[in-house]
Structure 1
């Protein structure tokens, strides 16, 4: 969908100049920022520099989020083991009362389970999702930077479409951008 949108913008810019892009509504904030840089008449180097910096900072923020969830995933099983040790101490301290052994053993086993569940069912999958999102954002934003620089250079919209299709997997290249 972003390819179709960018090719339409390239058509508008080619026919009416870069200023004709002013006020155009687009679905992507990064693309909107880039269009504004083009309309404001910045040099290609400045456009690329500003957008690349914006892209790097966004990825850095996502990387921090990923690191937080990885740390939770690493720490949760250890916290579960600490709970297990506490439960075992309670169990061993109540060896003279057979009725207290069961509940203490349950605490010991449940804390290990909770630690493993937090790590493997929550924290690590979220970290993986954040990493995938970061990669996807970087790819889309890199594609947008290339597209904007091509629009600014006055390249043919079909050439721009071909350039942007290189970012897609081969299986999607034939259908994307021709709707």
Structure 2
């Protein structure tokens, strides 16, 4: 589980609630079922119109990815590729065939299968780059769904507030209830803006980060597969692949602290970070 996501959400929502209470507000005033229906129902409905039904129904899956995504260790991948390069130089490319079933990653396994089958290096590169491009497109589409929801939520909040004010202004006979009713109407704006900036947009950014990490790993795999096919020296290969990583994460000792994010999970950093 990504503790950073859970802790960040709790901290953000908790800060809003605690600040409201410390300012003299009542917790009960923040709970408005009608505003919840308007904001979340309207946001999800507008999002459904924007994206395909298949993408919309996958929202739950994407949420799980943002919370429970299992990250791969870049150094482990590099070690595996160096080991394969050593095996290929010692026993030949066909020796890799016996190792293919030991890899869970389909992208790496298919690339190595191309090499074992004797596919032309340029064709191997082209096919793996094409697959990587489609992987990236799918991941960006997932993040786009939450970006869309984050764009609609504040607008739905304004709509909910306007609807509430229309109700208030249509019934001005009881002046004493005017203040509370206006406050209730503005709760919809609060829900819309808060949900966009605490839920939808942060999840979109989290999925984008997941995409960046996975694309980096795939680029390492792609370069490793092509280098193995070219018969490069395993030691040189290891150094070349580590160049994809930030200097602080290129060895296990120096990466002990640097490769942990706020959730305490290993992460991948690019050389620019």
Q: Scaled by the length of structure 2, what TM-score is found?
A: 0.61
Query: Where does 1:38-77 land on structure 2 (aligned, <5 Å)?
Result: 38-77=115-154
- Indicate yes or no: 2:55 matched with 1:11: no
Deviation at 1:175, TM superposition (A): 3.2
- Indicate yes or no: 2:239 matched with 1:162: yes
Change in 2 beyond 3 A, CA 1:94/1:100: farther
Higher RCO by CA contacts (8 Å cutoff, separation 6 or greater): 1
Deviations, residues 101-148 of structure 1 (Å, cap 9, x unaligned): 355324312211111122011111111112112211221111111111
> How many equivalent pairs are there?
176
Rounded Cα–Cα distance in structure 1 between residues aligned with 2:94 and 2:188: 63
Q: Which residue of 2 aligns with 1:134?
A: 211
Rounded Cα–Cα distance in structure 2 between residues aligned with 1:99 and 1:5: 73
Of the two, which has the highest radius of gyration? 1
- Indicate yes or no: 2:120 matched with 1:30: no
Deviation at 1:29, TM superposition (A): 2.1
CA contact (8 A) 1:9 1:21 kept: yes
Structure 2 gaps, min length 5: 1-75, 254-273
- Indicate yes or no: 2:229 matched with 1:149: no
Structure 1 gaps, min length 5: none
Q: Scaled by the length of structure 1, what TM-score is found?
A: 0.91
Q: Which residue of 2 aligns with 1:119?
A: 196
Rounded Cα–Cα distance in structure 1 between residues aligned with 2:203 and 2:138: 15
CA-based RMSD of the aligned residues comes to 1.6
Q: Which residue of 1 aligns with 2:45?
A: none
1:22 aligned counterpart, secondary structure: helix
Spell out structure 1 runs of 4+ moving beyond 6 A.
Answer: none
